[in-house]
Amino acid sequence: MSKATIDLPPKGGFSFDLCRRNDMLSKKGARPPSYRKTGTTIVGIIFQDGVILGADTRATEGPIVCDKNCEKIHYMAPNIYCCGAGTAADTEAVTDMVSSQLQLHRYDTGRESRVVTALTFLKRHLFNYQGHVQAALVLGGVDFTGPHLHTIYPHGSTDTLPFATMGSGSLAAMSVFESKYREGLTKDEGINLVSEAICAGIFNDLGSGSNVDICVITKGHKEYLRNHLLPNANVYALKREYTFPKKTEVLLTKITPLREKVEIIEGGDAMEE
Amino acid sequence: MEPSLNDLNEPHSMGTTIIGVTYNGGVVLGADSRTSTGMYVANRASDKISQLTDNVYVCRSGSAADSQVLSDYVRYFLHQHTIQLGQPATVKVAANLVRLISYNNKNMLQTGLIVGGWDKYEGGKIYGIPLGGTIVEQPFAIGGSGSSYLYGFFDQAWKEGMTKEEAEQLVVKAVSLAIARDGASGGVVRTVTINSEGVTRNFYPGDTLPLWHEELPAQNSLLDILSAPSPEPMST
């Protein structure tokens, strides 16, 4: 009997096959596992010589902090970095993917990557997935046309701004920028402003916390200041190693060496290839 | 009522007020600058008037992502068309390209646009392309959530054959009236004037706009505080 259906090759994109089952389960009372999200405060500013990006370092799974020191500032190109908020897996995957695309593009064109190229790759991808890839990004970099700072929303829209904030702590950080930002900040002033904004997010938003990461990008040079500020030091942590009591009591230790058994064959065949 | 953090995952939409007006010799396009995500203003200085070609611009409203992608596609097709045609594209062609994409994807897009420009055959022209993808050539067009407050205003204030200055003043007045009444519109007023001589972009910050009924002048606004000189040291 011939098969009535042909096995189609698996199509790309999301498979919504289990959605009905999940609906049924949640109606019965089973709670789905919560996504690991980066609650997050991410910011960026344009200063005198380039761009400064900042991020907190807390990753959450529902109400639990699953990573106290994660990295939210992702490498895109030697002159372009991207902060990511939203579902951690989505931000990691999309920034990795576009970083590879940019590398291939650099081989093709033989030139330094431009920020608008990264922007277009990201916004096309996010628009094609209609917001299901939940990644909200702050993209910043310096190319030959100058410093650029963009925000990218999960549905694929973008904005170009002199200062930007994203994530659950964005309102707290934006309040700092709106009162203190001005054009032509020096590098130290910029780093202080960005740190202040991230700290506002860390202390006033439950989804953000731990430390402050900063990345300064200028023409031909970048500085990745991982854990630039540690305002939440773990003061009461034990200094000594954890030692656990041994569970099994040792009654007798006897070591018996096994006798070696070696056979010597005279005149055997030589090994052949 | 505290703003919910879920709002930050709302799609980025441009509440918006967009206007396009023809005058004797060209067109004036105008828009506000507020982009909102739920109840939060995500960008208070956005540019909703995008360039399609040297002589045709489009005002975008509705979903920010949809309208940006649509105008990117139309810019790309128009560029090809210009190369193939050997001369600048007409406003009618640009508007029809927008209409084709808008109509053929009507189930998936949520964006209303106003295409305006100048070409040597027809002069200044405005085409309104609302949700659904109809194309309507009009002497003036309004769109976006703030446009509801402007229908009566335009019925009374619009007249045929205005000068460039009159048209621009009309557009600025209309956008500022809409900003006063529509929560989803705000920020600054941007205008783009297109005629045979070329394109002029103008920008009207909030403090240059007229005050309407019950609006108070700004006191101790951030603009004053930031530009104030530092206070004199006290002396006995």
**Residue A134 with chain B: CB contacts under 8 Å:** 9
- pTM confidence score: 0.81
Report DSSP state, residue B132.
T
Give pLDDT, residue B4: 41
Reply yes or no on whether the pLDDT at B1 is more than 50: no
What's residue B165's pLDDT? 96
Choice among A67-71, B19-23, B169-173 with the minimum mean pLDDT: A67-71
Pairing of strands B56-63, B111-119: antiparallel
**CB-CB contact of B56 with B115 (8 Å):** yes
List A40, A41, A91, A158, catalytic entry: A40
Task: Count the helix, strand and coil residues of chain B and give each as a percent rounded to the nearest 5.
Answer: 35, 30, 35
Q: pLDDT (tens digit, 9 = 90+) per residue, A171-218?
A: 999 999 999 999 999 999 999 999 999 999 999 998 888 899 999 999
Q: Is the Cβ of B110 closer than 8 Å to some Cβ of chain A?
A: no
Mean model confidence pLDDT for chain A: 89
Residue A123 touches chain B, beta carbons under 8 Å: yes
Question: Read out DSSP for chain A?
Answer: ---SS--PPPPSS---TTHHHHHHHHHHTPPPPPPEEE---EEEEE-SSEEEEEE---EEETTEEEESS---EEEEETTEEEEEEEEHHHHHHHHHHHHHHHHHHHHHH-SPPPHHHHHHHHHHHHHHTTT-S-EEEEEEEEETTEEEEEEE-TTS-EEE-SEEEESTTHHHHHHHHHHH--SS--HHHHHHHHHHHHHHHHHH-TT--S-EEEEEEETTEEEEEEEEE-TT--TT--SSPP-PPPSSPP------PPPP-----TTPPPP--
What is the residue-averaged pLDDT of chain B?
90
At A217-265, the pLDDT tens digits run 999 899 999 999 888 877 777 777 777 777 888 889 999 888 887 778 7
ipTM higher than the 0.90 cut: no
Judged by a CB distance cut-off of 8 A, whether residue B33 touches chain A is no
Please give the Cα distance from B77 to B97 (Å, whole number).
8
Do B52 and B99 touch, CB atoms closer than 8 A? Answer: no
A132 pLDDT above the threshold of 90:
yes
Q: Is the pLDDT of residue B96 over 60?
A: yes
Q: Is the pLDDT of residue B93 over 80?
A: yes
Phi, psi of B82 (to 5 degrees): -60, -40
Confidence (pLDDT) at B5: 46
Please check whether residue B141 is in contact with residue B126, taking contact to mean a CB–CB distance below 8 angstroms.
Answer: yes
Q: How remote is the C-alpha of B191 from its chain's centroid?
A: 7
Q: Name the residue facing A170 among B8, B63, B108 (closest C-beta).
A: B8
Check if the beta carbon of residue A187 is closer than 8 Å to that of residue A47: yes
For B125, the token pair is 């022209």
Q: Strand pairing of B123-129 and A135-143?
A: unpaired
List of chain A residues whose C-beta atoms are within 8 Å of the C-beta of residue B8: 136, 167-168, 170
Measured between CA atoms, the residue of chain A closest to residue B33 is A159
Check if A40 is active-site.
yes
Please say if the pLDDT value at position B62 is more than 50.
Answer: yes
**Total residue length of chain A:** 273
The partner residue sitting opposite B12, judged by closest CB among A130, A157, A170, is A157
Chain A residue closest in CA terms to B13: A157
Residues of B in contact with A207 (CB under 8 A): 5
What is the per-residue pLDDT across B4-54, written as a single tens digit (0 to 9) for each? 444 566 667 667 999 999 999 999 999 999 998 888 899 999 999 999 999
A190 Cβ contact partners less than 8 Å away, ≥ 6 residues apart: A45, A47, A48, A52, A216
B52, two tokens: 């399609």
Q: With bands split at pLDDT 50, 70 and 90, how would you rate the model's confidence at A1?
A: very low
Average pLDDT over residues B187-204: 95
Percent with pLDDT over 90 in chain B: 78
**Residues of A in Cβ contact (< 8 Å) with B64:** 153, 155, 157
* B37 contact A CB<8A: yes
Q: CB–CB of A141/A77 below 8 Å?
A: yes
Site of tokens 């055959």: B121
The tokens of A11 are what?
A: 């199509």
B82 touches chain A (CB under 8 A): no
- Asked if A159's CB is within 8 angstroms of B43's CB, the reply is yes
pLDDT surpassing 70 at residue B2 = no
Task: Give A16's pLDDT tier (boundaries 50, 70, 90).
Answer: confident
pLDDT of A121 over the 50 cut: yes
Per CB-CB distance under 8 Å, the chain B contacts of A171 are 3, 40
